Structure 1
Amino acid sequence: MNRDLSRRSMLFRSAAVVAGVQVAGMTRLWGADAKSKPGVQMYMVNAEFKKDPASTLTKLAGIGYGYIEAFAMAITNIADFKKMLADAGLGCPSGHFPFGFSDTEKVLDNAAALGVKYAISSVLPPEPPKGAEMAGIMQKMNHLTADDFKKMAAVANQIAESASKRGIEFAYHNHNVEFRKFDGVTGYDILLKETDPKLVKLEVDAGWMAAGGADPAALITANADRVKLLHFKDFSTITPPVNELGGEAGGHIVDLGAGVAPLKAAYEAAKQAGAEYFIVDHDPPFKGKTAFEAAQVDYAYVAKLMGA
Structure 2
Amino acid sequence: MKKNICLSLLLCVLAVTTFAQSNRFGKLLKETPGMVSYTMRASFAKDVPGTLDKIKALGITNMEMSSLFGKTAAEMRKYLDERGMRCSSYGVRYNALKDNMDSVIRDAKTLGAEFVRLSGVPYKGTFTLEDAKRTVDDFNQFGRKLKANGLTFVYHNHGFEFQPYQNGTLFDYIVQNTNPDDVSYEMDILWVFHPGHDPETLLKKYPKRFKLMHVKDLKKGIKGDFSGSTPPENDVTLGTGQLNLPAILKAAQKTAIKYYYIEDESPIVEQQVPLSIAYLKSL
TM-score range, shorter chain: 0.7 to 0.9
Distance 1:304 1:150, change over 3 A: farther
Equivalence map 1:102-251=2 (5 Å)? 102-125=99-122, 140=124, 143-237=126-220, 240-247=223-230
Which residue of the partner structure matches residue 93 of structure 2? 98
Distance (Å, rounded) in 1 between the aligned partners of 2:76 and 2:281: 26
Q: Which residue of 2 aligns with 1:270?
A: 252
Q: Which of 43, 66, 79 is matched with 2:74 structurally?
A: 79
RMSD: 2.0
Q: Identify if the C-alpha distance between structure 1 residues 79 and 91 changes in structure 2 by more than 3 Å, giving closer, same or farther.
A: same
- Give the equivalent residue in structure 2 for 1:48: 43
Aligned counterpart for 2:278 among listed residues 295, 300, 304: 300
Give the TM-score normalised by structure 1: 0.76
State whether residues 201 and 227 of structure 1, in contact with CA within 8 Å, keep that contact through their aligned partners in structure 2: yes
Equivalent position amino acid for 2:62 in 1: Y
Deviation at 1:184, TM superposition (A): 4.2
TM normalised by structure 2 equals 0.83
Deviation at residue 59 of structure 1 after TM alignment: 1.1
Which secondary structure state, in structure 1, belongs to the residue aligned with residue 120 of structure 2?
coil
State the SS of the aligned residue for 2:78.
helix
Give yes or no for contact 2:232–2:267 (8 Å, CA) kept in 1: no
Residues 60-98 of structure 1 deviation map (CA, whole Å, 9 limit, x = unaligned): 111111311101241422222111111222121112111
Cα offset, 1:238, TM superposition: 6.9
Measured in 1, the distance between the counterparts of 2:203 and 2:166 equals: 23
Does the CA-based 8 Å contact 1:210-1:238 persist in structure 2?
no
Structure 2: runs of 5+ lacking an equivalent:
1-29
Identity of aligned residues (%): 28
Q: 1:302 to 1:100 in 2, by over 3 A?
A: farther
CA shift, 1:276, in A, is: 0.9
- In the aligned structure 2, how far is the partner of 1:250 from the partner of 1:77? 28
Larger mean CA deviation between 100-109 and 229-238 belongs to: 100-109
Cα separation, 2, equivalents of 1:187 and 1:42: 28
Shift of 1:282: 0.8
SS of structure 2 residue aligned to 1:275:
coil
In structure 2, what is the Cα distance between the partners aligned to 1:194 and 1:73?
A: 32
Could you say which structure has the larger radius of gyration?
Answer: 2
Q: 1:79 is matched by which residue type in structure 2?
A: A
CA distance in 1, matches of 2:41, 2:107: 19
The list of structure 1 runs, each at least 4 consecutive aligned residues, that deviate by more than 6 angstroms after superposition, is none
CA distance in 2, matches of 1:177, 1:237: 21
SS at match of 2:113: coil
Distance (Å, rounded) in 2 between the aligned partners of 1:97 and 1:157: 16
Deviations 1:238-263 (A, max 9, x none): 7643110334x655221211101122
Gaps of 5+ in 1: 1-34, 127-139
Q: 1:216 to 1:84 in 2, by over 3 A?
A: same
Matched to 1:49, the amino acid is F
C-alpha displacement of 1:172: 0.8
1:279 & 1:60 partners in 2: Cα distance? 12
